[in-house]
Structure 1
Amino acid sequence: MELRQLRYFVAIVDHGSLSRAARVLHIVQPALTQQVQQLEEELGTTLLHRSAQGMQATDAGRIFYEHALAILKQVADAKSAVNQSTNKPSGTVALGIPQSASGALAFPLLSAVRAAFPDIVFQLTEELTGNLTEQLASGRLNLAILFDDGQLGKFNTRALVEEDMMFITRANSQFSCKKKSISLAKALQVPLILPSIQHGVRPRIEQVVRDHGMKIDQVIDITSIAILRSAILADMGATILPVSPLLAEIERGEMRACPIEDVKLSRTVSLCSSKNIPLTNAAMAVEKLVIELSRELVKSGKWLGAEMLDIQP
């Protein structure tokens, strides 16, 4: 198996066409077809099939595609690590961030990396927590923002902030808390719109509820934070979340965040990297910048409901 075969296969999947991939790769189509056939013979399985939509990966092909991406990324990182300077880091850095944390970090981080490291190609991926964990473990991501649920032992982990979760409704909602705070029991009496179990925040909420001898009776499971936001604005119910994913709506007065008075409901936001794949100089520079930026956002009050943990940059 050769690296060029991995690149060829990835290009076909990405472009959905042998002819388009051949043009991008600057090789003739028969040669591309031959390389894919050799790859399939070596693996003993079919990786691609034709459909009305073009060339598509089979089930085995989709699995192989993920591994091929990870391998190609690690090779690129290795080359970058050899060639780059510690004074002027360059190369590609891929960082994953959960949907429920992107509101606080994503745009400030994009701006900060562009300003501080113009030679770094920064790839910011927003995904479900479970997907980020898999991509970080496989090497497709250099860094990931994850929530410490006690299952991060396989990664190098640096705790960033502790985020309080609040009871959030539409402004003037029928479900709004009547006082400045609300008890967990009362919060659980209204229909709750919560991220699905694949989100790192949901297991934390359910664990705290169980620990206090309660249960969630009325829940609407939604995978997308964008759809969850729309459901709250439509006054279909309330949610229990950190402020960060709904920060813009709260600041505009479209939503109201109410503290939970009798239970400490929070999550630890951590910056993680692989224990097995070393960070490039560029990735280490971004890692340090994430820590510094988190401190600035908390100190300035722009990361609402967050408390900086005692870590060294």
Structure 2
Amino acid sequence: MNLRTLRAFVEVVRQGSFSQAAEVVSLTQSTVSKAVKTLEDELGTPLFSRIGHRSELTAAGQIAYRRALVLLAERSDLIAEINELRGLKRGVLRIGLPPVGSGVLFAAMFALYRRRYPEIDIELIEHGSKKLQECLQAGEVDLAALLVPVEGEFEYQDVRVEPLMVVMPVDHPLAGRKQVNFTDLADHPFILFESGFALNRIILSACERKGVVPRVTARSAQIDFIVDLVSAGLGVAFLPRMLAHKHKHAGIALIPLDEPQTDWHIALAWRHQAHLPPAARAWLDLAKEMGNVPAGLPD
């Protein structure tokens, strides 16, 4: 059993297909298939149940996937510690950020970080919260910006807490309210982010607590498009306050959402007891120093 074989197996699980996994690990599909078959032979049990064109993890496959993530993360920690011991002049900041809010929160930080540490290479990936947690667990990134509560064995440092605003057309019947809740919005269509975005979890969980079943008319991964759909009268959307004000224009109204446990609370997370390389520790120190309060936006 070798780590390259485990890496191929993990990507097959993540990507849901052998062909897509092959693209990620830069191998041929047949090589990935052979790697998984070799792993199954070594363990003496099938790892996938092949149903038609679909492959699902067996019980043994689930155990192997969980253990493979740990082994790959340990390899990453080993390399980081050895590099630090060697006193490399160049370091690497490996960080994962979500598509929502990262520009406002972290663009200025990246600029200052680059000025302070010009020899540090930055490896940035962007994914939704679920995929970022998987990347962090596997040691593919040292830090990831995640919404709190953070699921899994992670430690984290707070970055920003923002209330949610309801984004609605300026002529919406509730646009004159000082605040609204999900009972008020029960009969109005929602525009949400695509599945996999942690902000959806906050909204849908709060609706469930209130006994509201939302009618979702559209989903998108792009804030600009969501705001345009709202302006066109397709429904109401929800954004953290700082992002809502950044995208405000004459065609929409912003109303505070009056619901408990719906704050957008973002933090920088890392694996519990993981070795954090100097480049990652420097990023955490800079985040604490800057406080991540965007200029010109209301607190």
Q: Does 1:273 align with 2:273?
A: no
Q: Deviations over 1:145-171 (max 9, x none)?
A: 22223x55732122222201111124x
Residue number in structure 2 paired with 1:140? 140
Q: Secondary structure at the match of 2:247?
A: helix
Aligned-pair identity (%):
19
* Residue-by-residue CA offset, 1:124-161 (whole Å, 9 max, x unaligned): 3221x233333333333322222223x55732122222
Deviates more, 1:267-276 or 1:114-123: 114-123
Counterpart of 1:157?
Answer: 156
Residue in structure 1 matched with residue 199 of structure 2 by the alignment:
201
Query: Is the 1:102–1:126 contact (alpha carbons within 8 Å) kept by the matching residues of 2?
Result: no
Alpha carbons 2:207, 2:214 under 8 Å: kept = no
| Partner in structure 2 of residue 286 of structure 1 | 283
- 1:288 Cα deviation (Å)? 2.0
Partners of 1:262 and 1:210 in 2: CA distance: 12
Report if the CA contact (8 A) 2:3-2:72 is conserved: yes
- The range that moved more, 200-209 or 152-161, is 200-209
Give the AA of the match of 1:163: E
SS at match of 1:258: strand
- Structure 1 residues 275, 228: CA separation in 2 closer, same or farther (over 3 Å shift)? same
| Aligned residue runs from structure 1 range 24-103, under 5 A | 38-43=38-43, 44-45=45-46, 59=56, 71-72=71-72, 74-84=74-84, 90-97=91-98, 99-103=99-103
Distance of 2:202 and 2:265 partners within structure 1: 10
What's 1:310 paired with?
Answer: none
Give, in whole Å, the separation in 2 of the partners of 1:235 and 1:289.
Answer: 41
1:58/1:113 CA distance change after superposition, 3 Å? farther
Q: List runs of 5+ in structure 2 lacking aligned partners.
A: 13-17
Matching of residue 219 in structure 1 with residue 215 in structure 2:
yes
1:125 aligns with 2:120: no
| Structure 1 residue runs without a partner (length 5+) | 23-28, 50-55, 308-313
Shift, 1:220, TM fit: 0.7
The alignment's C-alpha RMSD in Å is 4.4
**Residue pairs, 1:14-33, within 5 angstroms:** 16=22, 21=27
**Tell me, what secondary structure is at the counterpart of 1:140?**
coil
Partner secondary structure for residue 269 of structure 1: strand
Whole-Å separation in 2 of the counterparts to 1:136 and 1:233: 37
TM-score (norm 1): 0.66
CA shift for structure 1 position 290: 2.9
CA contact (8 A) 2:69 2:138 kept: no
Judge conservation of contact 1:89–1:282 (CA < 8 Å) in 2: no
Alignment check: 8 A CA contact 1:109 1:290 kept: yes
Specify the code of the residue in structure 2 equivalent to 1:216: V
1:300 equivalent in alignment to 2:298: no
1:239 corresponds to which residue? 237
Give 1:271 deviation, angstroms.
Answer: 1.9
* Distance in 2 between residues matched to 1:274 and 1:148, nearest whole Å: 15
For residue 116 of structure 1, report the CA deviation from its aligned partner: 3.3
Instruction: Determine helix, strand or coil for the equivalent of 1:133.
Output: helix
Residues 58 and 114 of structure 1, relative CA distance in 2, 3 Å threshold: farther
Which of these residues, 255, 259, 262, is aligned with residue 258 of structure 1? 255
Preserved contact between residue 190 and residue 218 of structure 2 (Cα < 8 Å) = no
Question: What code does the residue aligned with 1:199 have?
Answer: F
Q: Contact between 1:195 and 1:221, CA under 8 Å: does it hold in 2?
A: no
Aligned residue identity for 2:92: G
Q: How many residue pairs align between the two structures?
A: 280
Say whether the 8 Å CA contact 1:165–1:243 is kept in structure 2: yes
Whole-Å Cα distance in 2 between the matches of residues 65 and 124 of structure 1? Answer: 22
Shift of 1:236: 0.6
C-alpha contact (below 8 Å) 2:72/2:138 kept by paired residues: no
Residues 1:203 and 1:95: Cα distance change in structure 2 (over 3 Å): closer
Q: Say yes or no: does 1:104 pair with 2:104.
A: yes
